[in-house]
Structure formats: structure tokens, C-alpha cells
Amino acid sequence: MSSNDIVVVGSCMIDFVSYAPRLPKSGETIHGKEFATNFGGKGANQCVAAAKLGGDVALVARVGDDIWGPKYIDNLNKLGVNTDYVRITEGVSIGVAQITVSDLGENQIIIVAGANHCLTAADVELAQDIITKAAVLVLQLETSQDVAIRAIQLCRGISILNGAPALTDFNPQLLKLPTIFCVNETEASVFTGGLPVNNICEAQNAASALIEKGCNSVIITLGSRGAIYVDNKEKFHVCSPTVKSVDTTGAGDAFIGALAFLLATETNISMRRAVEKACLAASDSVTRPGTQISFPGPSILQ
């Protein structure tokens, strides 16, 4: 089995996206303007983001045996992703995400995990060969904690855990094992036990609190305000370029996919430069609707 520079262990979802003038209030029905069906899921999104930049990427995941499972694998193959460890699960539907996007680019998302719940540590063990050889391993929490922990234990390179969706009850190893723990403002607040993360200063405080909890390094993405990075040696804030936002869905995945690509392919790149370029890729993605279809190609990093 050939090795891949980047291995992503995580989720596949079908996104059912409704575009509306604004997000509905609780109990409210409003008219939408457009509907789209896209390939999504944090794991596959991050995988595709790295692949579209030119990364040599493999995905470890589960899809359902409904009409969407084979279509999803075919889409990944067309994008050059190694799908040897993407398994069709009998009797289970693929994971789905119901997404509403406003004219301001804001979104609300509900996910139903489906086949993603069936991804286990045993699946990770089957992919041990490519995981141990990978320069960068990427994980999220749309699949179980046990899956993420076992994969990081097998990793010999850089591991990036995207703590999304956030968990209030979690194994402390999720913080201590990965090389980089990456979350957005809301997720950072949850993992710190409720610290406010409303500005750059508060984000830096939350990142420092996560370091105290055992993280090796922390990135908190701040949307249009960029991202902050903290480890035991350095702390910095990187700004994002100003763009007209059309759809913010998947921007965090574009960031992580780009970060994984840069760390895997540019061995001498500084963390500051990697975070700057990842912010550039994420900002570019929000200028187009959709998730995977919005992710940029390699020219964005040149």
C-alpha cells in the first residue's frame, strides 16, 4: 500500500443547503431563495480542501449503503483522494447536514451522523499503515472520541485535531495527544468550561487556558478576524484579508485542510506563515457558495 502525505480520519455528510434572506427565529417559517445539495462533512471537507491545493491525501471514513454512499466515493476519487479506507456500511444511511445560509453569509447547521457513528477504532487499526506513514494526520469530532484518540496514538507525524463539534464531556487525551488542537470561538469556550471568547484578547486567554489543560499547541480561528496561535514558546495573532462573504459554511475546514497541506509539503515553513496562508485559503472560500465546491486551488497559496 502506497503512503499518503496527509491522512484524514473523519466524517462524510451530504449537505442539504437552503439559502434565505436571513436565519429564521425560533418557531418561525420563512421563504428561502435557493436550494442546493453538496458533498460535505468535516472530515471529507478537510480532506478535499487539502487535495484541491495539490495534497496527496487519503480518507478513513464510513458512508451509507443508500444512493449517496457510492456517489460520495466517486466524487472523492475524481478529486484524487485515496478512498481505499472509505467503507460502505450496510443498513445505514449516509450522514446528512441541514444547513441554512443567510444573505450575510451566516449559517445554522444540524447534523445527523448516520454511518459516521459506525466508524470505529477497528477501522483506524485497519488503516494503521497509512496513518503511521503520514506526515500530517487530521481528525474531528463528528465521529467518536475513541476513533480520534486511537488514530493520534498511531500517528508518528504531526496530528491536528479539530475540536468540532465541541464536547462538554470529553476524554482529556483529546487535548493532550494532538500536536495542534484547533477550534473556533464557540468551541474554545466550551472546551475551557465556559470562558468568554468574544475578542482577540479573550481568545488568547482561552488558548492559554487550553495549554494549561495539557494542549501542546492551540489555534483558535476567529472568522473574519483571522486566527490566534499559542504554544509554550510563542503567541501570535494573524489577520484575515477583507473579503465579501457569500457563505461561511466550511471556512474552518478550508483553514484546516490548507494548514495540513502546508505542514505536510513545506517542511521549513514557520507556524506563523502556515496560519497566515491557511487564513488566506479560508477567506477565499467564503467568497463562493457551498463547502467543498468553494475551496480554492493551489494558486491561492502562491
Catalytic positions = 253
The amino acid at 26: S
Please, what is the Cα angle at 82 between 115 and 109, to 5 degrees? 40
CA 219 to centroid of chain Cα atoms: 13
Q: What SS3 state is found at 208?
A: helix
Give, rounded to a whole angstrom, the gap between the first and last alpha carbons of the chain. Answer: 32
Q: At what angle do helices 68-78 and 42-52 cross, to 10 degrees?
A: 20
Q: At what angle do helices 271-285 and 251-265 cross, to 10 degrees?
A: 140
Report strand pairing: 82-89 vs 57-64: parallel
Taking the C-alpha atoms of residue 285 and residue 75, their distance in angstroms, rounded to an integer, is: 19
Q: Locate 86 and state its grid cell.
A: 472509505
Q: What distances in angstroms separate CA 109 from CA 101, 106, 249, 302, one per listed residue? A: 9, 10, 9, 33
The kind and range of the H/E element at 237 are strand 235-238
Q: Locate 111 and state its grid cell.
A: 447534523
